[in-house]
Amino acid sequence: MSKISEPDLNILRNLCMASGVSGYEGEAREIMNINLRKICDDVEIDNFGNVIGKIKKERKNNEDVKKNNIKKIMIVAHVDEIGLMVKYITKEGFINFTKIGGIDDRILPGQRVVIKAKKGDVFGIIGTKPPHLQKEEEKKNVIKYEEMFIDIGCNSREEAEQKIEIGDVIIFEPNFGNLNNDLYYGKAVDNRVGCYALIKIMQEIKNLDINAEIYAVASAQEEVGLKGARTAAFKINPDYAIVIDTTIAGGTPQIKETESNLKVGNGVAITFIEASGRGVIVNEKLKEIFINTCKEKNIKYQYDVLEGGMTDGAAVYINKEGVPTGVLSIPTRYIHSPTSVFSLNDVDACIKLVVETIKKL
């Protein structure tokens, strides 16, 4: 069973509890900024909102890089989360909203949310027409988010406008805790658990004598088009890239093994292909290194062949003339929902595999 120190647990908890909807990653981004500054030689927040930390290899100039074969390795974990945004306020004081990122309408009714308003957090509940009042035909259909509303306890538009305004972002109510043994749950596990792993990886690498420049990227706006990783890859132009994310775990009722045979607690997931090839097709050399390293170092691992969904790897590996890119994921239950479940053992396996891989690269 994995053990986690109280300071590390606090970092993980703070990341999951923080607000960071795509394009509005400020709170979560600042946690990454603070923690990477304790480790890296240089840290910047770029024009797009990515946090980029760098552990430098001493060099005189760019010619020195070529002469000594100093590689640039980029490790990416996206810092944004799915969420909502205030779209309209009714005359009765209820809120219509739009979605940011991929959210299944079926999970929304009754959820507690927090509107990140300029004047302070406003708590609300997502409401819809009660089933008792629905006609038989209505009961057969999934209620669309456009038919839902958020109740913040106001009686008029004027009262609501004293608290919020159109364009305010909305997060699911923050939560984090221990479910059982090494299993933890939390909001925005996708991909704050990857961000936590990124911090721990850089801590490990800092103490190693590696002939490479290592870049840690907490990327913005992954959930809405893999955007931040694309701009960061263009800026860094790495020789290799490793992307850390979450992936869909099976092992629960109604998920067939043919749909996902990944299980929480069975190790880090090594991705082969995403979205049937529309996403990243993982570099053969890196895939081999991942698998051989797991065998050599006794790291628990699983294979991940994705038919749907993509990671930042899909944007990074087509940068300029192409970047050999690997994707490692932490199997997670209930991703893209208000609360997800993951194993610290899988997180530790991911951290160890990335560190050992970088030694070989």
Q: Hey, which residues are catalytic here?
A: 222
Using CA atoms, how far residue 186 sits from 48, 204, 339, in Å, is 27, 25, 5
Distance CA 238, CA 286 (A): 14
The amino acid sitting at 176 is F
Distance CA 229, CA 24 (A): 16
The amino acid sitting at 334 is Y
Q: Cβ distance 302 to 250 under 8 Å?
A: no
Distance CA 117, CA 328 (A): 35
Distance CA 268, CA 291 (A): 11
Positive or negative CA dihedral for 232, 234, 236, 242? positive
Distance CA 90, CA 79 (A): 33
Torsion, Cα of 244, 252, 183, 265 (10° steps): -60
Q: Cβ distance 324 to 285 under 8 Å?
A: yes
Strand order of the β-sheet with 176-180 is: 176-180, 183-186, 340-343
SS3 assignment, position 246: strand
Cross-strand pairs, 357: none
